[in-house]
Amino acid sequence: MTVKTVFMELRQLKYFVRTAQTLNFSEAARSLYVSQSTLSQQIKLLENELGTVLFQRDSHSASLTQSGEMMLPLAIQTIQSAEACKAQVNDLKEMLIGELNIGVTYSFSHILTETVKRFVKAYPGVKLNIFYRNMLELMEALRHREVDLVLAFKPEQPYCEIDSRILFNDKLSIIMRKDHPLAGRESISLEELANYRLAIPAKGLQARNTLEKYICIERSDLNVCLEINEANMLLDIVQDNTLLTMLSESSIRGRDLLKAVPLDLPYNRMQGCVHTLKNVFHKRSAETFVEMLREADIYQELPDEWQ
């Protein structure tokens, strides 16, 4: 069996898995950057080799056959094993090469930048792929090994297969301009916010998840005039007017015009974490990136030490 043949088999498995996940040949082809005809041809070759039909097709959709349902977890396991083998061989060379896939929530942009600059300069042999999504999407990506690590706040409900190492402690705070009437306060209660217009993080962001432990937004007296699922845009908007928003205290690092005042809540703590899968091989590049992250200057300014 030649190397080319092995590659083709892995490619066919990847095509099959992506199509099984989307149940749409057109969407799967777009995400894989191949034509739909190429995708269909390779899956047909795989079906011929296996001697069974994997998909029931019609003009609008596709569904897995019984054979396809049985094949899917086996195909995923095979792909993951092949990728882990490649990563371990690269590490045995005592070189940092290959690819490193990092998932990041929007609130961590300011924390990540310094380390990314240092890493790409120090390790030009590693291709760094960074994906911005909300925390729930990133945890699913990590579980499916689409990313090697995730930088996000600790979820309200832990994942048994994910290890969450605390990087720093933070607080859910009201963010405002420094010249806002509330900027001199030590803390602010939820009841007081009813008198002000709010731009808040949309559902899915951890600041919103933390807030909704204490209050149902839809049933509250809060004057919400804007919801956005991107933290930096929220901060830009607040910086230019009198609106208030709710994000972590650390989110305003580097924004001299803004002030963060902690919300007066019974247990106000958000924990910034690096999340990795338990009991799997971790790339040397991932470990190196986390070490560099720990050394970043920005963490010397955070209120709590690394744990």
pLDDT in tens, 146-158: 999 999 988 878 8
Spatial distance between the Cα atoms of 294 and 257, rounded to a whole number of angstroms: 27
The answer to whether residue 301 scores a pLDDT higher than 80 is no
The answer to whether residue 298 scores a pLDDT higher than 60 is no
Tell me what the pLDDT averaged over the chain comes to: 85
Select the CATH number that applies to the domain covering 3-90 from these four: 3.50.50.60, 3.10.110.10, 1.10.10.10, 3.40.50.12500.
1.10.10.10
CA angle 152, 153, 158 (to 5 degrees): 105
pLDDT in the model for residue 180: 94
Spatial distance between the Cα atoms of 214 and 268, rounded to a whole number of angstroms: 10
How many CB atoms within 10 Å of residue 56? 11
Q: Are 133 and 103 in contact (CB under 8 A)?
A: yes
Q: What is the location of CATH 3.40.190.290 in the chain?
A: 172-262
Spatial distance between the Cα atoms of 25 and 62, rounded to a whole number of angstroms: 8
Select the CATH number that applies to the domain covering 172-262 from these four: 3.30.70.260, 3.40.50.1370, 3.30.300.20, 3.40.190.290.
3.40.190.290
The answer to whether residue 85 scores a pLDDT higher than 50 is yes
Q: What is the location of CATH 1.10.10.10 in the chain?
A: 3-90
pLDDT digits (tens, 9 = 90+) for 163-179: 998 888 889 999 999 99
Assigned architecture for domain 95-168+271-300: 3-Layer(aba) Sandwich (3.40)
Q: Which residue has the higher pLDDT, 95 or 43?
A: 43
Q: Where are the beta strands (DSSP E) in the chain?
A: 55-57, 62-64, 98-104, 126-132, 149-153, 162-170, 172-177, 197-201, 223-228, 245-248, 258-262, 270-277
Q: What percent of the chain has pLDDT over 70?
A: 90
pLDDT in the model for residue 61: 76
* Per-residue pLDDT band at 92 (split at 50, 70, 90): low
